[in-house]
Structure 1
């Protein structure tokens, strides 16, 4: 087999093996960029507020996104919420789906 053909086959095989990992990494970064807006239809439906103190429906001041069972922390300020399509929400936010 010609050396160029051998090199081409090796590079192609490496690319095919690496492609699923690259796709997973890119998906993770794209998800991290999806900070939900209060105007998002899902957020409106659940009355999401990035600042829980601005949610008139909230009756318990201890209810915050960062202590909700649907929240998964990414860092101290934001995390994903399964009720809001796994988009990023503010840790100190609130919505009607809060579950303790």
Structure 2
């Protein structure tokens, strides 16, 4: 006579599958969050144009954007989610921005 297991008991096979899938997600998700797997933001992107995004903060026109200060870069912005040369930005979903870049929506990290 076969006895059924309670619904909350996980089979060994299912447990191994869950561990492997979880491990794969742990490897893939941080890379995507850092922007490593994201395509670079194009200067012709409508949102990039509207926010005057530039790949190099040193090239920002100080007369047009007097709020820009030396040292204001995507790396030091609250919206930047990366920690390296390129990273994700919550203002430009699905694209990566340059860490040394800048846009007019810049907000310094607290």
Q: Which of 26, 31, 53 is matched with 1:29 structurally?
A: 31
1:39 is the counterpart of 2:48 = no
Matches within 5 A, 1:1-100: 10-30=12-32, 31-34=35-38, 35-56=40-61, 57-59=64-66, 60-62=68-70, 63-75=72-84, 77-85=85-93, 87-100=95-108
1:10 is displaced (CA, Å) by 4.1
What TM-score, normalized to structure 2?
A: 0.59
1:95 is displaced (CA, Å) by 0.4
| Residues 68-94 of structure 1: CA deviation (Å, up to 9, x unaligned) | 22224422x233322222743212211
In 2, the alpha carbon distance for the partners of 1:85 and 1:32 equals 13
Give the aligned CA root-mean-square deviation in angstroms.
2.7
Structure 1 unmatched runs, 5+: 1-8
What TM-score, normalized to structure 1?
A: 0.63
- Check the 8 A contact 2:47/2:92 in 1, yes or no: yes
In 1, the alpha carbon distance for the partners of 2:44 and 2:89 equals 16
Count, aligned residues: 91
Q: Identify, as 1 or 2, the structure richer in helix.
A: 1
Q: Identify, as 1 or 2, the structure richer in strand.
A: 1
Structure 2 unmatched runs, 5+: 1-10
- Check the 8 A contact 1:70/1:82 in 2, yes or no: yes
